[in-house]
Structure 1
């Protein structure tokens, strides 16, 4: 079975089996267009409630046409939100893998998560599977730090960061990523949050701190980021997603998460768990698997679903 949509990619990606099978999966998506409109209207309403004016001024229009950034970020964001949705609707866009991290990219990975409730496959709503505290957990595996790993899977790491910084969990996650994928910080660094986390990691998890510092020893902190993305891709794309597609199970990846049919959620969860458990056994020699989060999404209205045939809609 070949993909019917106009899915682009680099020449080397054309020979990548995962890119090819992802194109076939994207052809199966069904969009509830009226529901998409409602979701977008709600997004616009939410932006308006934040205060900024949605319509650009004349000067902002001129700067937008010149490709310059404007101070009205909400207007730019609202325009860009629809682009991946339009690509999925037209069954076109790029499906490719990054050269350094080997991450898989498609219009689905770029889609704002709100819209996934308006997507189904053969009338079956989407469901998602992802790993709790995925990024620090993967770092714990590479660093072979069992103490760090256990605190990650039980959410104690983010809780410690949240308490240290006095922020909510989402902000704690962003601050962690700033530490993990940035350079070495000092007391005079602009990001005091990243410095605080650096000190916390060094104090509580010296094995992981040493691993991170070793990865940055040549002064290129991006090497760790690329290594982490490659490890993530080996697990979720070359491992889990490849097996799912090989078994003819519908699945699309969003980096460290997977989307599938609600009716196949149990099978996808079991296959994902088996791959992650094997990775834990390989790197830490323990049998404590990471915790998976599963989330069924709302069923779209069956009356308004758009199904597709070659290059057109019916």
Structure 2
């Protein structure tokens, strides 16, 4: 059933949670009205500071996210949270564990929390996350926190979706080895060693410093990732994390890096939408006479696969 998009956007701009939820549902469901939704949101976007949080399972991402929400709310800022959960293998839905852990903020009208399922998407983010971020931005959130599923070799996509990327680690979890293996030393702007009341916290910080030093190819004035120790469950060190985030934001704004990141993000989003549309049109050709004819020529040796692909793309884009 069609919805009144203009009215929904107006209600979302007023901070009504139901309207925000409905808009994100339209995004997740790839609604036929999605283009209309994005067109209506466009004039109201570009104001939110997007912070991505990632790290291995068990480092306290949800607890840290909740503590950051409290810190930003203490500053009077409206906060949106996208908690991207692993998909349920049965229903395809998110497990919602993050939302349960952030229930302290459920009654706060200045906080909007949404769990999204990855639905098998590699990269640690749901495919619809960029559009959902745009909804929260247009709805007046000053800060959008995007918490992703555990980091791994193919799950560093948050770096391309956030203004600032936060990588969380914890002592005694083998995170140093994981950091080297997963390449997270390239994506972090701020590193947080959580559960710093455990043995080995200082050693983890030293190891991180050492590894960041080994991988350094920074010039004068380049950003040197900050390392902060926290005990998120007690709120310790969270103020220092916010301070580090604000310093990184100021550094990016001063040097034009923030605009560059946002331009790159927009370009990637356009490319993804275009490639998805092309893929859908090509998928519609299965069993089509044109595809069959190209396959016959390849088998006969009269056409190579690249030339066939060029013909297929030309046919799809011209039709």
What TM-score, normalized by structure 2, do the two folds share? 0.29
Quick check: which one's helix share is greater?
1
RCO greater where, 1 or 2, for CA within 8 Å and sep 6 or more?
1
What TM-score, normalized by structure 1, do the two folds share? 0.30
